Structure 1
Amino acid sequence: MIRCRKILQIMNQQCHFLQRRMVHHFADSSQWGATSQKDVHMGLGVSVYPERVDVDAIVQYLGRAGTLGYSRVFSCLLSAEGGRAHVVERFSPVARAAHEASMALTLDVSPVVFERLGISPDDLSFFCDLGANAIRLDEAFTPREVAALTHNPYGLAVELNASTADGTVAAVCACEPDRSRLSACHNFYPQRYTGLSASFMEQESRAAKELGLGVAAFVSSGQPDACGPWPLKEGLPTVEAHRNAPIDLQARHLFATGVVDDVLVSNCFASDDELRSLAALDPATVALRVVPAKGAEGPLFNALLGSSLRVRGDSSPYMLRDSDQRARLAPLGIAPHNTWGLVPGDVAVVNDRGGRYAGELQVVLKAMDNDGTKNVVANVVEEERFLLGYLGPWSGFSLLA
């Protein structure tokens, strides 16, 4: 009777996790480029490693993350030592804390873990009893076996490794899995220079999305003592270019691609400021950090910050235009100022000389002459200009100081 109640409790905990997976499955996956049609059902998660850090600290950390709206917890059995009793002792408190914070727990496993713990692919009750909501297969069984795992009676979801490019994801999907319980999650990479290229990550994520699967990827905390499941402390990103980048930029990039649904912090513990910076993001909007142009600090610059902006549908190779800002900004009175030649990354506003175009916001993509009607108000910081490539017709974006 006690076990039945526990199974029902775990299955109820699956609801939010699986509902989000079903949204990913049934969402229109025909367009994954620079468009405004991004999945708004995106989520955030954290990772914890009870083999490496104090369990009481983990419990407090999950409580803070849950309060901020984080919905997922990742942990790793690949690095866990000992048998079943030891795993239960170390990981059960993590599962309880995750559920108390309304977060779903995913455990990273492999066939080796199954063998070491005496778990049969036909019986996933151990993971259910442990309190897991999902298992991630770092290395997979046969496609037919993985498909069968998704039909388990405990409601456990199954995540495939999205980073391997070995055909496993497509092969599993050909074996009639329960796709509402199937998704894909990228690796993280402890060793410097071993992470994925951004283009490869997007390629493999897009392949999974085209099969109707949700995709998760990892970002890395910049805290010097943040750790993962292994001794190295060189960061734990999915994308190598993210290793030394601010955590919010890592996440903004992943969300901007339109092919990553969930972003998980891979190492622990992220600082409270880092957690808050991710929680403040709008995953459906490409956020660009800017600095004021020379002498442009003031009301006009401030009016650009934090506003919901949108690229016009008739795109130009020279600029991204938001004409809707005319009605909002023109009444401020925009005297000509900083009307020098325009270069990529400039954020310009048409001044009073522009007539009916006054107040229009323009983000410059290619160098061009300035006829004196455009005030350079801000500049996208150099290290974030690559994000402009993810903006296209009707894309939503915003400017951050």
Structure 2
Amino acid sequence: MKLGASVYLHVPIEEQLPYLEKINLYGFQTLFTSLHIPEDDVSLYAERLQRLGRFAEKKGMALVCDVSPQSMAHLQLTWEKASLLCDWGVTGLRIDYGIDAKTVARISRSLKIVVNASTVKAEDIAALKHAGVAFDHIEGWHNFYPRPETGLGRENFNKINERLREAGFKRMSFIPGDVKRGPLYEGLPTLEAHRHWSPFAAWLDLYSQKAVDTVIVGDPQLSEESLQQLALFQQQGVILLRAKACVEPPIIDKQCNRPDEARDVIRSVQSREIAQQMKQKVKPNQTTERLLGTITMDNERYGRYQGEIQLTKRDLQADDKVNVIGRVIEEDRPLLEHLKANQLFSIKWS
């Protein structure tokens, strides 16, 4: 599954290049930008898009622009000359409303065409076929939704993706970033469920469901921690969880959930072995209730289970044989669903 980033042209491209260089090293292959954001100064679009295009071309990255009927005028071009955008480093256009099928067909001979996955209808697809659009150059991309409560539900999302798959389209979805985009600063996901998840949790959800072919971060930036989470999973298959400690936590590089997956908790295979090697008693401490995402260690009252680290998959009551040592941060708790049997994981404490 390809990864992409959003670039917004109200910020000079030179200021964004260090971040773009970094994500390119992390394997990001696609850049997305919009040429019809109401708050933008459109007079800046042409120069900044060309600068962004030079960067994308140099790095071998795709560059897709979201356009409206007025967008070519903003670039001092016409729709008849849209193919000139290839010379700017643009590789595709996301076309929504108001652009006729014949124009789209002509553009598709030189640029990839992206349709709005959420709004394209069967008759729209038929019209594009009739006009001669090159269907090996067409994809379906979802919207992002800045306002809370307006993102797609899972069932509708899946139905749209299935319809696009049957039409032969590759699909793209947005996930939120760490540095939020204004004016609402509420994240830019496609799925409403992802709005307050960590970017990695949202990405892993789409990856595990095989829902789309490309995932693009809708917000301007990911943190270094999110990039590390993505890289660790992609390179080693390890899910990195961020957690806050309430006592001095044990540091174990990589852990693995047991093959006989428990209903209520994730059980670290390595933790008991390490505790036995250290030959230290685990005294009862912080034996409080265990909310979803709580990280615990069995104390000496649990006999041979002493030293076992667990992560709770649901709320559990307090147990005087179980010490609470911390809790996974809220944004990363959706990751617990992916800690199946034999899944590798690591905990980054703060």
TM normalised by structure 2 equals 0.70
**What is the alpha-carbon distance in structure 1 between the residues aligned to residue 113 and residue 258 of structure 2?**
40
Q: Which residue pairs with 2:116 in the alignment?
A: 161
**Which of the residues 176, 184, 197 maps onto 1:219?**
176
Q: Deviations over 1:257-293 (max 9, x none)?
A: 134665544354x4xxx44233212264544332223
Q: Which residue pairs with 1:203 in the alignment?
A: 158
**What is the alpha-carbon distance in structure 2 between the residues aligned to residue 180 and residue 394 of structure 1?**
39
Q: RMSD of aligned C-alpha atoms?
A: 4.6
Paired residue secondary structure (1:73): strand
Do residues 47 (structure 1) and 7 (structure 2) align?
Answer: yes
Percent identity reads: 23
Q: Which residue pairs with 1:13 in the alignment?
A: none
Distance 1:153 1:182, change over 3 A: closer
Q: Which residue pairs with 2:33 in the alignment?
A: 75
Whether contact under 8 Å (1:96, 1:131) holds in the other structure is: yes
**What is the alpha-carbon distance in structure 2 between the residues aligned to residue 286 and residue 201 of structure 1?**
28
Q: Deviations over 1:122-162 (max 9, x none)?
A: x862332231123223449799997x689x554x4443434
Q: Which residue pairs with 1:319 in the alignment?
A: 265
Q: Which residue pairs with 1:7 in the alignment?
A: none
Distance 1:66 1:367, change over 3 A: closer
Paired residue secondary structure (1:254): helix
Deviation at residue 213 of structure 1 after TM alignment = 3.1
Deviation at residue 45 of structure 1 after TM alignment = 1.8
Whether contact under 8 Å (1:88, 1:130) holds in the other structure is: no
**What is the alpha-carbon distance in structure 2 between the residues aligned to residue 328 and residue 177 of structure 1?**
61
What amino acid sits opposite 2:58 in the alignment? E
Whether contact under 8 Å (1:334, 1:352) holds in the other structure is: no
**What is the alpha-carbon distance in structure 1 between the residues aligned to residue 124 and residue 277 of structure 2?**
54
Do residues 376 (structure 1) and 324 (structure 2) align?
Answer: yes
Whether contact under 8 Å (1:160, 1:183) holds in the other structure is: yes
**What is the alpha-carbon distance in structure 2 between the residues aligned to residue 335 and residue 179 of structure 1?**
66
Q: Deviations over 1:5-51 (max 9, x none)?
A: xxxxxxxxxxxxxxxxxxxxxxxxxxxxxxxxxxxx442423131xx
Q: How many residues align?
A: 330
Distance 1:134 1:349, change over 3 A: farther
**What is the alpha-carbon distance in structure 1 between the residues aligned to residue 57 and residue 203 of structure 2?**
26
**Which of the residues 47, 51, 57 maps onto 2:15?**
57
Do residues 297 (structure 1) and 252 (structure 2) align?
Answer: no
Q: Which residue pairs with 1:266 in the alignment?
A: 218
**Which of the residues 245, 250, 258 maps onto 2:198?**
250
Q: Deviations over 1:205-264 (max 9, x none)?
A: 7647965834331424536xx55xxxx454551255766x5xxx5312311313466554
**What is the alpha-carbon distance in structure 2 between the residues aligned to residue 61 and residue 370 of structure 1?**
45
Unaligned ranges ≥5, structure 1: 1-40
What amino acid sits opposite 1:193 in the alignment? P
Whether contact under 8 Å (2:179, 2:219) holds in the other structure is: no
**What is the alpha-carbon distance in structure 1 between the residues aligned to residue 269 and residue 124 of structure 2?**
43
Whether contact under 8 Å (1:143, 1:168) holds in the other structure is: no
Paired residue secondary structure (1:379): strand
Q: Which residue pairs with 1:8 in the alignment?
A: none
Whether contact under 8 Å (1:218, 1:265) holds in the other structure is: yes
Do residues 346 (structure 1) and 294 (structure 2) align?
Answer: yes
What amino acid sits opposite 1:91 in the alignment? L
Deviation at residue 379 of structure 1 after TM alignment = 1.8
User: Aligned runs of 1:14-163 on 2, under 5 Å?
Assistant: 41-49=1-9, 52-59=10-17, 61-67=19-25, 69-79=27-37, 88-110=46-68, 113=71, 117-119=77-79, 125-139=83-97, 152=108, 154=110, 156-163=111-118
Paired residue secondary structure (1:344): coil
**What is the alpha-carbon distance in structure 2 between the residues aligned to residue 90 and residue 205 of structure 1?**
33
**What is the alpha-carbon distance in structure 1 between the residues aligned to residue 256 and residue 240 of structure 2?**
11
Paired residue secondary structure (1:281): helix
**Which of the residues 344, 347, 350 maps onto 1:399?**
347
Distance 1:71 1:341, change over 3 A: same
Paired residue secondary structure (2:261): coil
**What is the alpha-carbon distance in structure 2 between the residues aligned to residue 359 and residue 42 of structure 1?**
40
Paired residue secondary structure (1:331): helix
Deviation at residue 105 of structure 1 after TM alignment = 1.2
**Which of the residues 185, 193, 198 maps onto 2:148?**
193
Deviation at residue 362 of structure 1 after TM alignment = 2.0
**What is the alpha-carbon distance in structure 2 between the residues aligned to residue 158 and residue 70 of structure 1?**
20
Q: Which residue pairs with 1:11 in the alignment?
A: none
**What is the alpha-carbon distance in structure 2 between the residues aligned to residue 359 and residue 168 of structure 1?**
62
**What is the alpha-carbon distance in structure 2 between the residues aligned to residue 202 and residue 399 of structure 1?**
32
Q: Name the structure, 1 or 2, with higher relative contact order (CA <8 Å, separation 6+).
A: 1
Deviation at residue 297 of structure 1 after TM alignment = 0.6
Whether contact under 8 Å (1:63, 1:97) holds in the other structure is: no
